[in-house]
Amino acid sequence: MAEGWKKHESEMPRLCVTEGVPFEDKEIWLHFFVLGTDSHWMAAETDGKGLYFGYAVLGGDYQNAEWGYFRLS
C-alpha cells in the first residue's frame, strides 16, 4: 500500500470531533479501496493510530453500506 496518505491522516479530525455534523455534511479525508472489487472505505475521522470512522461499501452492496468504525489491518 502506498504511504502518501499518512500525511493526510495527520491532518484529519480526531474521533468524535465531527460528531455533531450530519453524515451528509461530513468531509471525507481518505478513500481506501481494493482493486478488482467494489469495496470502499471512506474515512472522515481517525484516532491517529489506525482506527477510522467513516463510510463503508462492501462488495458493491450500496443498500447495506453504513457509517461506522474500521481498521485497515
39-68 pLDDT, tens digit per residue, is 999 999 999 999 999 999 999 999 999 999
- Give which of 65, 63, 41 is closest to 53, Cα–Cα: 41
Rg of the chain, C-alpha, whole Å: 12
1-48 pLDDT, tens digit per residue, is 556 677 778 899 999 999 999 999 999 999 999 999 999 999 999 999
Delimit the domains of the chain by residue range: 1-38
Percent of the chain with pLDDT over 90: 84
